[in-house]
């Protein structure tokens, strides 16, 4: 109503302090709550005036405040302490009494909020303030005459104070209060004090713990209240490290044994706690068990793992009584805790005894009817695999089972460590020979493909993305042919059809890694051709964007020469793309593209890059793209070009690139050797031989001496001592790569070059010092391009821009009269939104 609006309106000319005082004095509760929530800001802005004028009004408002304002005040007071807006002395003087005053608020939630603030304040208060303001009043507040709420607060404060005083003060002033509260008439107080004994034991040391705390824990473990016994048990487990062997064997072990025996007869909540702490318990008591006790604990654990599974009923869930449903939920929690502790139990029985002692239990947990149990064992699967080591072959079937689990939550938990698990599976077991790695996992590939399809069919795209990322480990686990026929085409399909961008990018990166480790040149060429034709030249602009993502991954994963040979020209051709978003994305990628070039071997590619950038600057009509082009030109200008010869500033990057190139050449060499071996005896070369060969030829970056002769393609790297190695390296590359002609669509670039040469060449401003080159230079004249067949075959020539081959001519295509460079068709291509 107008009257209410007028009453709630505040003068805009008031300062923050004046407005706060006014609202606390005459405003509504919601306005007062807002002021208190804003108190930390006022303290940072003007602490003196806030303490002098606002805080007294806050104290007055809190006397009659409701729950919401009280909770807000507790949080604001804690924030002011954490912000250090005022000194500890000022904070103690202004805020501490307000906190202590509201500790015993009738609302439990409000009381706990103020208590949390006080416990944080105790951490920073000086000892004298703690003694006078908190410890001395605590003596009276912990008496039986006080309320239960007051005694519960006293228990928690005592647990916090123990670490702030010396042992003498604790023994004289604090421990008597602790003993009194441990023997309180209310079970809630005894339970609360029992849970603080862990903090107290850490503050008073081993001797006082054994003489004071341990007797109290023993007495509380026999308490009539189940919550008190539970608190005593959990505290004993957490304090196991403090006690010596005698205390563990003579005092604690009998208590634990009695606790376990009585747990099935007691409340199921005790079983939940016992199952959760069982691993820590067995670890802490390890070494003092007799063989009989060891067996009993193991049988007790096995019993907990199947708790509730024996009760079969044919009733509908709606007909089951509520108490039975609640009991079943507790049993599920017990089995989940058992799954959580399974790695600890393997240590308890020794991994050598796993098959005899725990395999059947592991099988039950992996096939448990409840998802939380299977989810937890899936999380632990990697730890179990590590512990079993050479016995990991025993759980092959369980891995397949969890991969095929109907719940995506279970699959998501398992794939977090899938690469490590598969590596252990492929190298561990009875046979570590890598030739047999597939035979030991016959169902792995179907399980992996089914898991991916199940994730793809769901709405949980993050699980799908993670799974595709983890599939990048497969080249180290299964054969190249298996990946090519079972996974590679699927990655293409995901890139082309999936609607989720992170999933598409994950598939793209994994496909690049599959390509990186593919063992057959024919298959590699087919994949490259598909990437260029289906993505780079795709009708949908979305596919062309994904092609640029793939180019970025290629630059990251492959050597510079590989990218320049196959992807440089298809990438920069997208400067003519009709869709602005594609041109924009390419502009962002251009600095990385330029970083793959080496001068002088790649100067013809540099010239083509400059020409494309110049056309963008001159012809671009989209203002957003043009702005990015201008920024990109400046960035390209600041870039320093890498030379064929090693330079100190690029030393590590060049070594890494050389290592990548060596491995790529090694793949060609291995393929040739494999063909020769197949011709000789009909058997394919093993992955083990390839790995050995790769390791033998690998040069560690850190151990490589600076004066070692390194063969890098290009004239500047040729020295008399290494000329033979260089010739051999070039021969290998020429045999495998140089028979690849330019793709026909690049013929128009030569036309552009010939047109530009009549008027001379003006370098694009901002492309670096090394870009001052002439378009009439012979290195820019590329070989003639052969026409492309309409359908793709593995032998189709790929676009090739291999370094040092710019002037070479393919003898099969150069003499043909019919060979004419076709015009680029990108501008007329229609894009599919």
- What is the four-CA torsion angle of 386, 388, 390, 393, rounded to 10 degrees? -100
User: What are the φ and ψ backbone dihedral angles of 418, each rounded to 5 degrees?
Assistant: -60, -45
Residue 743, C-beta contacts closer than 8 angstroms, at least 6 positions apart: 532, 569, 570, 785, 788, 797, 798, 799
pLDDT at residue 625 tops 50: yes
For 248-257, b/e burial (b = at least 16 CB within 10 A) is bbebbbebbe
Q: Is residue 442 very low, low, confident or very high in pLDDT (cuts 50, 70, 90)?
A: confident
Token pair recorded at residue 142: 């912990």
pLDDT tens-digit series, residues 569-595:
999 999 999 999 999 999 999 999 999
For 620-646, b/e burial (b = at least 16 CB within 10 A) is beeeebbebbeebbeebeebebbbbeb
User: What are the φ and ψ backbone dihedral angles of 586, each rounded to 5 degrees?
Assistant: -65, -40
Q: Do residues 542 and 503 lie in contact, with contact meaning Cβ atoms separated by under 8 Å? A: no
Percent of the chain at pLDDT > 90 equals 43
pLDDT at residue 236 tops 50: yes
pLDDT tens-digit series, residues 649-671:
566 777 887 788 888 888 878 87
Q: Do residues 736 and 802 lie in contact, with contact meaning Cβ atoms separated by under 8 Å? A: no
Alpha-carbon distances of 498 from 225, 448, 465, 540, 543, rounded to whole Å: 59, 19, 11, 13, 11
When pLDDT is averaged across residues 23-50 and rounded to a whole number, the result is 89
pLDDT tens-digit series, residues 418-438:
999 999 988 874 444 444 444
Q: Do residues 195 and 230 lie in contact, with contact meaning Cβ atoms separated by under 8 Å? A: no
Residue 450, C-beta contacts closer than 8 angstroms, at least 6 positions apart: 403, 404
Q: Where would I find the H helices in 142-252?
A: 148-161, 167-169, 175-182, 187-204, 206-208, 214-220, 226-238, 245-247
Select from 801, 831, 351, 325 the least CA-distant residue to 596.
801
Q: Do residues 574 and 544 lie in contact, with contact meaning Cβ atoms separated by under 8 Å? A: yes
∠ CA 396-280-218, nearest 5°, is 155
Q: What is the model's pLDDT at position 310?
A: 72
Strand partners, 743: 786
Q: Do residues 788 and 638 lie in contact, with contact meaning Cβ atoms separated by under 8 Å? A: no
753 or 457, greater pLDDT: 457
For 286-310, b/e burial (b = at least 16 CB within 10 A) is eeebeeeebeebbebbbebbbbbee
CB neighbourhood size of 805 (10 A): 20
Q: What is the model's pLDDT at position 259?
A: 82
Classify residue 563 as left (phi > 0), alpha (psi -120 to 50) or beta: alpha
Mean pLDDT score of the chain, rounded to an integer? 79
Strand partners, 540: 832
Select from 148, 54, 145, 63 the least CA-distant residue to 97.
63
Token pair recorded at residue 62: 């809190």
Strand partners, 642: 598
When pLDDT is averaged across residues 818-824 and rounded to a whole number, the result is 36
Classify residue 389 as left (phi > 0), alpha (psi -120 to 50) or beta: left
Token pair recorded at residue 615: 């056309």
Rounded Cα distance between 342 and 338, Å, is: 6
Q: Is residue 751 very low, low, confident or very high in pLDDT (cuts 50, 70, 90)?
A: very low
Q: What is the model's pLDDT at position 768?
A: 44
pLDDT at residue 782 tops 60: no
pTM over 0.85: no
pLDDT at residue 404 tops 70: yes
Token pair recorded at residue 704: 């490589």
Q: Do residues 41 and 81 lie in contact, with contact meaning Cβ atoms separated by under 8 Å? A: no
Q: What is the model's pLDDT at position 144?
A: 86
């Amino acid at each position: 109503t107008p009257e209410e609006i007028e009453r709630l309106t505040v003068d805009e000319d008031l300062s923050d302090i004046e407005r706060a005082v006014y609202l606390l004095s005459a405003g509504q509760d919601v306005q007062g709550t807002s002021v208190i929530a804003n108190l930390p800001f006022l303290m940072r802005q003007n602490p003196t005036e806030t303490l002098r004028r606002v805080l007294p009004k806050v104290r007055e408002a809190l006397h009659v405040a409701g729950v919401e304002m009280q909770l807000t005040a507790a949080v604001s007071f804690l924030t002011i302490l954490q912000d250090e807006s005022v000194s500890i002395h000022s904070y103690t003087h202004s805020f501490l009494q307000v906190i202590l005053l509201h500790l015993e608020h009738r609302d439990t939630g409000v009381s706990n909020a103020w208590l949390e603030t006080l416990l944080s304040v105790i951490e920073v208060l000086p000892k004298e303030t703690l003694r006078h303001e908190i410890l001395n009043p605590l003596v009276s507040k912990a008496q039986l005459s006080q309320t239960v709420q007051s005694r519960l607060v006293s228990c928690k404060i005592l647990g916090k104070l123990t670490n702030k005083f010396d042992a003498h003060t604790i023994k004289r002033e604090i421990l008597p209060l602790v003993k009194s509260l441990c023997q309180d008439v209310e079970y809630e107080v005894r339970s609360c004090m029992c849970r603080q004994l862990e903090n107290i034991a850490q503050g008073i040391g081993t001797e006082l713990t054994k003489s004071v705390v341990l007797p109290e824990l023993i007495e509380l473990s026999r308490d009539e209240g189940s919550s008190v016994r539970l608190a005593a048990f959990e505290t004993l487990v957490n304090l196991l490290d403090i006690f010596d062997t005698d205390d563990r064997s003579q005092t604690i072990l009998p208590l634990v044994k009695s606790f376990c025996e009585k747990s099935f007869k007691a409340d199921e909540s005790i079983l939940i706690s016992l199952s959760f702490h069982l691993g820590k318990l067995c670890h802490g008591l390890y070494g003092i068990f007799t063989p009989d006790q060891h067996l009993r604990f193991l049988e007790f654990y096995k019993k907990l793992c199947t708790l509730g599974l024996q009760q079969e009923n044919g009733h509908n869930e709606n007909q089951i009584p509520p108490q039975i449903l609640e009991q079943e939920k507790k049993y599920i929690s017990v089995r989940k805790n058992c799954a959580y502790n399974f790695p600890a139990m393997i240590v308890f029985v020794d991994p050598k005894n796993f098959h005899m002692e725990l395999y059947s239990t592991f099988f039950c947990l992996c096939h448990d009817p409840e998802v939380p149990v299977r989810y937890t064992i899936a999380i632990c699967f990697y730890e179990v695999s590590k512990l079993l080591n050479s016995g990991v072959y025993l759980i092959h079937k369980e891995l397949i089972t969890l991969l095929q689990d109907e719940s995506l939550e279970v699959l998501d938990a398992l794939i977090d460590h899938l690469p490590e698990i598969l590596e252990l599976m492929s190298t561990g077991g009875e046979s570590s020979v890598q030739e047999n790695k597939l035979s030991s996992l016959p169902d792995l590939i179907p399980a992996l493909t089914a898991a991916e399809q199940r994730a793809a069919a769901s709405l949980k795209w993050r699980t799908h993305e993670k799974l595709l990322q983890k599939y990048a480990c497969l080249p180290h686990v299964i054969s190249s042919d298996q990946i090519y026929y079972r996974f590679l085409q699927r990655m293409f399909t995901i890139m082309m059809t999936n609607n989720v961008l992170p999933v598409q990018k994950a598939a793209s990166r994994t496909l690049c890694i599959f390509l990186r480790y593919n063992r057959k040149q024919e298959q590699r060429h087919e994949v490259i051709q598909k990437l260029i034709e289906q993505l780079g030249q795709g009708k949908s602009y979305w596919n062309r964007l994904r092609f640029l993502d793939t180019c970025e991954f290629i630059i990251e994963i492959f050597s510079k020469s590989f990218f320049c040979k196959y992807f440089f020209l298809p990438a920069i051709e997208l400067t003519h793309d009709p869709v602005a978003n594609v041109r924009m994305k390419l502009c962002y990628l251009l600095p990385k593209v330029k970083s793959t070039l080496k001068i002088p071997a790649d100067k013809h590619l540099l010239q083509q890059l400059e020409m494309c950038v110049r056309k963008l600057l001159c012809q671009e009509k989209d203002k957003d793209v043009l702005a990015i082009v201008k920024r990109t030109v400046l960035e390209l200008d600041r870039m320093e070009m890498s030379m064929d010869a090693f330079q100190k500033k690029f030393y590590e990057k060049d070594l890494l690139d050389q290592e990548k190139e060596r491995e790529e050449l090694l793949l060609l060499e291995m393929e040739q050797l494999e063909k020769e071996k197949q011709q000789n005896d009909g058997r394919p070369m093993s992955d083990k031989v390839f790995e050995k060969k790769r390791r033998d030829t690998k040069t560690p970056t850190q151990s490589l001496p600076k004066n070692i002769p390194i063969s890098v393609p290009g004239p500047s790297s040729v020295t008399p001592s290494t000329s033979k190695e260089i010739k051999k390296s070039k021969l290998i590359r020429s045999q495998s790569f140089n028979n690849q002609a330019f793709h026909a669509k690049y013929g128009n670039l030569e036309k552009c070059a010939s047109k530009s040469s009549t008027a001379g060449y003006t370098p694009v401003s901002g492309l670096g010092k090394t870009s001052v080159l002439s378009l009439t230079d012979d290195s820019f004249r590329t070989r003639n391009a052969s026409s492309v067949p309409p359908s793709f075959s593995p032998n189709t020539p790929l676009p090739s821009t291999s370094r040092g081959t710019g002037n070479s001519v393919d003898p099969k295509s150069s003499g043909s009269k019919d060979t004419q460079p076709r015009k680029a068709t990108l501008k007329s291509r229609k894009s599919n939104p």
